[in-house]
Chains A and B, each alone.
Chain A
Amino acid sequence: AQKITQTQPGMFVQEKEAVTLDCTYDTSDPSYGLFWYKQPSSGEMIFLIYQGSYDQQNATEGRYSLNFQKARKSANLVISASQLGDSAMYFCAMRPNDYKLSFGAGTTVTVRA
C-alpha cells in the first residue's frame, strides 16, 4: 500500500516570505507521479504542481517549486513570496503505476500580513 506523510498539521508564514511544506512517501513502484494540491476554504481542490519519478529536474510552476529528493523519498513544496491568498490547506499526493491517487493528511498554511 502507498503511504503519504505530511508531518506539519499547520504552519504560519509572513506575507512575502517563503514556506516549505514537507511530504514523504513510500512506494515500491519504480515509476510514479507526485502532486501537490491546494484546497482553500471553498473546498475545491486546485492542482498546483507535478513531478515525475524519472524527471531529472525539480518541477517549478510560478511561485511553486517542488524539492524532489528521490533517495529520501521526499517531495517538499516550496511557496515563494507568500500572499494572503495562499492561506489554504495543501495536500501532497502520489500516483504509482495505476490510476489511484493517494493523499496525505494535509498541511494548513496561514499567511499573516
Chain B
Amino acid sequence: SQTIHQWPATLVQPVGSPLSLECTVEGTSNPNLYWYRQAAGRGLQLLFYSVGIGQISSEVPQNLSASRPQDRQFILSSKKLLLSDSGFYLCAWSILAGADTQYFGPGTRLTVL
C-alpha cells in the first residue's frame, strides 16, 4: 500500500531564516506530487505541483520554491522566511488515472517568529 511521509512535523523558525520541508511517497511510481498551505481555520491553497522529476509548476508567486530531485521526493524551500509563511503545509500525491484522488501526508506546522 502507498504511504506518504512529511517531516518535520512541527517547526519554529525566525524571520529571514531558510526553510526545507521534505515529502516522500512509498509504494507507487511516478506519482503527481503537490504542496499545499493552509492558514489557520481556512481551506487549502495549492502552492506547487509536479508531474515528474524536475518538473515543477508554481501556482502562487511567493518566496517559496519546490524541487523534485527523485521520483518520490518533493521538497519545499525558502531562502528567507516571512511572517506570512506561517501555516500548515500539506504534501499530497495522486496517480493520473480514474478519479486521480489526492492523498495527503500528515502535514508540517510552521511558525515563523
Report the interface size for chain B: residues with CB under 8 A from the other chain.
24
- Taking the complex as formed, is B73 at the interface, i.e. its CB lies under 8 A from any CB of chain A? no
Contact of A91 among B43, B88, B103 (CB under 8 A): B43
How far apart are B46's CB and chain A's nearest CB, in angstroms?
Answer: 6
Which residues of A have CB within 8 Å of B26?
none
Complex CA distance for A104 and B94, rounded to whole angstroms: 20
Considering residues A46, A103, A104, which has the most beta carbons from chain B within 10 angstroms of its beta carbon? A103
Q: What's the count of A-B pairs with C-beta under 8 Å? A: 54
- Taking the complex as formed, is A68 at the interface, i.e. its CB lies under 8 A from any CB of chain B? no
Instruction: Assess the B99–A50 pair: CB atoms within 8 A.
Output: yes
Q: Give chain B's interface secondary structure class.
A: strand
Instruction: Assess the B104–A100 pair: CB atoms within 8 A.
Output: no
Contact of A43 among B43, B96, B106 (CB under 8 A): B106
Interface string of A87-113 (1 = CB under 8 A from B): 000010001000111111110000000
Complex CA distance for A5 and B67, rounded to whole angstroms: 32
Residues of B within 8 A of A (CB): 32, 34, 42-44, 46, 49, 51, 59, 88, 90, 92, 94, 96, 99-107, 109
A-B contact list, 7 entries, CB within 8 Å? A33-B100, A35-B102, A37-B104, A47-B104, A99-B34, A100-B46, A101-B102
